[in-house]
Copies of this chain bind each other. A is one copy, B any other.
Amino acid sequence: MGYSDVDTLAINTIRILAADATFKSNSGHPGAPMGMAPVAHVLFNKIMNYNPKNSKWVNRDRFVLSNGHACMLQYALLHLCGYKVSMDDIKSFRTVDSVCPGHPEAHDTDGIEVTTGPLGQGFSNAVGLAIAQHHAAAEFNKPGFEVINNYTYTFLGDGCMQEGVASEAASLAGHLQLGNLIAIYDDNHISIDGDTNCSFTEDVIKRFEAYGWHCETITDGDDGLQNIEDAIKKCQAVKDKPSMIKLRTIIGFGSKLEGTHSVHGSPLKADDIKQLKTKWGFDPEKSFIVPQDVYDLYNKKGAEGAALEKEWEQMLTKYTESHKSEAADLKRRLAGDLPEGWEKNLPVYSPSDSAVASRKLSEIVLQKIHAAIPELVGGSADLTGSNLTRWKEAVDFQPPSLGIGDWSGRYIRYGVREHAMGAIMNGLAAYGTVLPYAGTFLNFVSYAAGAIRLSALSQVRVIWVATHDSIGLGEDGPTHQPIETLAHFRALPNCMVWRPADGNETSAAYYVALTSKHTPSVLALSRQNLPQLENSTIAHAIKGGYVVHENEKADITLVSTGSEVGICVDAVKYLKEKHNLAARVVSMPCFEVFDAQDKAYRLSILPDGIPSLSVEVMSTMGWERYTHEQFGLNRFGASGPYLDVYKKFEFTPEGISKRAVATVDFWKDVPNIRSPINRAFQQLI
């Protein structure tokens, strides 16, 4: 293709935009954008397929800036390409309500695929995007119709390279032979603490080769445009391995401080920017300038992209004629809607049905709905037999060459890699054709906290099947028994935490999780068997909280979740017989969904005039919002058969009753007891 002066001009324009924007906001990271402008220009102007006028085109190449602090690079490119990022937007970089925030946010900015910044996440999201692409290609491509064949590109820096989440994802990507994934590593030798020599001296190429990646090295990343293009094309040609390009660049290229950590996270000085502009033929007195030649160059690329999509649309029209159901399925998935009537497959239980562990109830749900929801793609962090996340007929998602699955498989063996699993699910969800769920023990969902936070922030639908949810796992002991975990994820905005008490509640949890297009869910599920409750129905449970056992003249309301609801029901009898106290029982499988009900409903469940006691075998934190008193476990658990452990901590009808009596006694002199549902003012949400 050949490169000319206008390419150099474009690259310098990007560099100067990054310098101008960080200078104006007096905040941000000019160094990486200035160093990576050449590779970004080659990628966005010569390599990638995309249509800036439709950032949702399913077969677009995906781009992920894993070193999200370099976001001015991405904003500059989105602007040049013609996405909905104006020069005014760039001028508002890092100010409140700008579409150019301090790190890229997918739900705010046109053309951003995933929310990045927390290091290692974007790279791992890219692995998820590449998995989804391979999976979608296997599902939708037909002879003569290559509907899906996009590449996924990701930039990453030394920080991402060092994060464990990226190591996990890289190992899995190598195993999965994700040929359409190309990562470009900005090897600039600089991290915040100075030279990478102070903590990062490993041989990155050798490590990635050990994972099974194809690797390329480019030594002249600051100006070797043709070399960059050639390397990327070589990687594109490697179809049975993901590729990693180690690109030597100079951080802050052009600055008087280039090559030092001073240009990493602080704006350049005014005189430094002036010398840049002078050196590169720009007016040193003007800022936020894009030469018309550069706009023209990118407009041309944008037009090519629009033409590409048009061509693709024409193919899709023909595809729709010959493959009607596949085409309809693709369209439906991309809208995020589930197939009509899928929910009729949800199992329903009656109180006479036998006691079943909620992890098993979850397995039954998956078994019954997987055929109706083809976009459901499951997995586990090497705990399939414990999490019960795999339906019987499932095929593994594997490279066909291994002989143990294929690209259309809907079950991912994530390995013991919880954090990457979380980040990969974010990528899967972002692709558009997959609805991901995956399992591990609830306690080890915490390993993935960084990823789940981004699920919530970027508003993607992913589902954690979090089994072995309490001291009820028994013998494995306190190293495996969650105490703080539910409080942690309940405190995370836009994250639903479900802890179902029986079969109908488990079905309800799946119903809400699957139909909440913009919210991740954590389903906390028991190892031990749980009885089917009176008055539990899907319709009740989808309100987040409801009355399991009513008593119109109650002395106390017991409020509980999951495995403790049944014990509370047993405590009702105990309280009546031993203490002549009348108790009602509320099951509250999901705080967040209960909070979304109107106040009248919430007050009907947790009414004024009656003292209330929460019962849950973990941290009491957060329960004060719903109940007057709390019975929980603000200490670590114990190793032993689960009934012994429950007994040790007094989570028995007797132990609950003891606290209930104390609660009634403590509140008996208070006139007009006010339900905690009543608040002085609305929270900011």
Contact = CB atoms under 8 A, between A and B. Distances in A.
Interface of A: 25, 27-28, 68-69, 94-98, 101-103, 105, 115-120, 158-160, 162-168, 171-172, 174-175, 191-193, 197-207, 209-212, 265, 380, 382-386, 396, 398, 402, 404, 413-417, 419-420, 443-444, 446-447, 449-450, 453-454, 456-457, 474-480, 483-484, 487-494, 613, 619-622, 624-625, 628-636, 638-641, 644-645, 648-650, 658-659, 662-663, 665-667, 670-671, 674, 676, 678-681, 683-685
A484 B484 CA distance: 12
A202 B168 CA distance: 11
A96 B191 CA distance: 48
Contacts of A201: 174-175, 212
A176 to B, nearest CB: 9
B175 A168 contact: no
A25 B641 CA distance: 9
B446 A103 contact: no
Contacts of A492: 483-484, 619
Nearest to A98: B639
A214 to B, nearest CB: 14
Contacts of A168: 162-164, 167
Contacts of A166: 164
A115 B199 contact: no
17 contacts: A27-B641, A96-B641, A102-B475, A102-B477, A118-B447, A120-B164, A164-B417, A167-B167, A172-B199, A210-B210, A484-B493, A491-B619, A494-B635, A624-B676, A629-B679, A658-B681, A670-B674
B680 A667 contact: yes
Interface-central residue, A174, A630, A644, A658, by most chain B CB under 10 Å: A630
A24 to B, nearest CB: 12
Nearest to A121: B479
B671 A475 contact: no
A71 B95 CA distance: 53
B681 A662 contact: yes
A57 to B, nearest CB: 26
A117 B619 contact: no
Interface-central residue, A193, A205, A212, A478, by most chain B CB under 10 Å: A193
Given A117-B480, A204-B210, A446-B450, A415 B457 contact: no
Given A160-B416, A487-B622, A492-B619, 15 more contacts: A27-B474, A27-B641, A94-B639, A101-B639, A162-B382, A162-B415, A163-B417, A164-B165, A191-B382, A202-B212, A206-B206, A456-B636, A488-B491, A634-B685, A666-B681
Contacts of A449: 446-447, 449, 488
A681 to B, nearest CB: 4
Contacts of A665: 680
Interface-central residue, A164, A444, A483, A684, by most chain B CB under 10 Å: A164
Contact of A198 (B386, B396, B490, B663): B396
Nearest to A100: B639
A480 B444 contact: no
A382 B159 CA distance: 8
A192 B444 CA distance: 15
Contacts of A265: 386
Contact of A94 (B211, B419, B477, B670): B477
